[in-house]
Structure 1
Amino acid sequence: MITLALDTSTPYLTLGLSWPSGDLGHAPHLERAHAERLPAEVQALFSEAGLPLRADRIVIGTGPGSYTGVRVGASYALALARVWQAELLGVSTLTALLPTDGSADGTYLPALDARRDHVYAGVYQVTKGNVEELTAPTKLPAADLDALATEHQASIRQDVQPSGLSLIRAAQSLGQPQPELALSYL
């Protein structure tokens, strides 16, 4: 099975590609140029992998993120899923901040800037590559981040480059199928 992951809700264009004999990920920092670069970057990813431009499953980061950013990725993923007749799964963008190494077991608190001294954060347990959501993504004052990490004995993952491969791993455990796909905006 070939799986494509994409997320456009952060300043990074987060892409991941997984197939039976390998995986590949890219996350160029684009700020606001996602819509302009997304199709070409997806084509380049498939080309680099030596695969035809087609996936069996698409994983989309559903936010939290900027309204426009979340919508760019979601609309592109929905269109590809329809054209390719691929399964579409959604996972929180926060899962893209989890460690890329599937064997990095532990409790993690990924966080994204939500502006005005707030963050979006959630707590996740990673065990042998499986991801479990311990607390749902929520908006909280940035000053409360350390207390939440202490409460759950979690490592904070903030200001790290997102990973499309982490999105793919999270989707295996947490993925929401298309009819229940819910997007989250800043």
Structure 2
Amino acid sequence: MPVTLALDTATPFLTLALAWDAGALEVSREVGRAHAELLADATKALFDDAGLPFQADTIVIGTGPGSYTGVRVGASYALGLGRVWNAPVIGVSTLEGLVRGSGRQAVSQDARKGNVYSAIYDVQNGVVEEVVEPVAKREATAFAALFADLRHHQDTAPSGLALLRAGLAHGEKDWQLAYL
């Protein structure tokens, strides 16, 4: 039974998800800057809640954009687990964790000083099918003009299951972190 773990620490939320043949679990809670202190225990608790041994076959990491320390905490932990478990670590933009449902959607996170990191995606069943506007730092008002009639998900907690599905669908094996 293949097990996939997804994690994201790029935002003020600690986001985790676990999927296996018989089910899926996800958790996302606001932790501010306490990712390093909480990540290991929260990950182990997720496996315990699922009744699974502490090992995954694939790991999906949210690569940001996010805070320098937050993004690196998650990436370091994912790479460490991947090495111990001999599991590939696949990267996907944290912004893909903001999508919900189906349809064209705008997503953004605050990038400070009137700017946002943003993208526009075509989404089917919670998975990005097409990138309409790639992830970029934009002036917030200019980005608003791009999505006037679209659903907009802004500064919300990423969905661990959305990240997991995106990673399995089109995640990158040769990923890079994106910082605010």
**Shorter-chain-normalised TM-score: which range?**
over 0.9
**CA 1:128–1:9: 2 relative to 1, 3 Å:** closer
Give 1:119's match in structure 2, choosing from 116, 121, 124: 116
Maintained 8 Å contact 2:104/2:121 = yes
Distance in 1 (alpha carbons) for counterparts of 2:30 and 2:63: 18
The equivalent of 2:146 in structure 1 is 148
AA aligned opposite 2:139: P
Distance in 2 (alpha carbons) for counterparts of 1:159 and 1:65: 11
Q: CA deviation at 1:174?
A: 2.4
AA aligned opposite 2:61: I
Q: CA deviation at 1:2?
A: 0.5
Maintained 8 Å contact 2:99/2:126 = no
Maintained 8 Å contact 1:123/1:154 = no
Distance in 1 (alpha carbons) for counterparts of 2:124 and 2:77: 31
- Matches of residues 4-153 of structure 1 in structure 2 within 5 Å? 4-99=5-100, 104-132=101-129, 133-150=131-148, 153=149
Gaps of 5+ in 1: none
AA aligned opposite 2:90: L
User: Bigger shift: 119-128 or 5-14?
Assistant: 119-128
Show CA shifts across 1:88-144 (max 9, x none). Answer: 100000011111xxxx21011110010111100011111244422222100011112
Show CA shifts across 1:13-35 (max 9, x none). Answer: 01011111111100110000000
Maintained 8 Å contact 2:7/2:15 = yes
Maintained 8 Å contact 2:122/2:132 = yes
- Give the 3-state SS of the residue equivalent to 1:51 in structure 2: coil
AA aligned opposite 1:127: Q
AA aligned opposite 1:52: P
Gaps of 5+ in 2: none
The equivalent of 2:158 in structure 1 is 162
State percent identity of aligned pairs. Answer: 51
Q: How many residues align?
A: 178
Normalised by the length of structure 2, the TM-score is 0.95
Maintained 8 Å contact 1:130/1:172 = no
Show CA shifts across 1:34-81 (max 9, x none). Answer: 000000000000000110000000000000000111100001000100
- Give the 3-state SS of the residue equivalent to 2:113 in structure 1: coil
Show CA shifts across 1:142-180 (max 9, x none). Answer: 112221113xx5311113221100101111222001xx2
**Which runs of 4 or more aligned residues in structure 1 lie more than 4 Å from their structure 2 counterparts after TM superposition?**
none
User: Bigger shift: 139-148 or 84-93?
Assistant: 139-148
Q: How large is the Cα RMSD of the aligned pairs?
A: 1.1
Distance in 2 (alpha carbons) for counterparts of 1:170 and 1:134: 16
Distance in 1 (alpha carbons) for counterparts of 2:27 and 2:53: 18
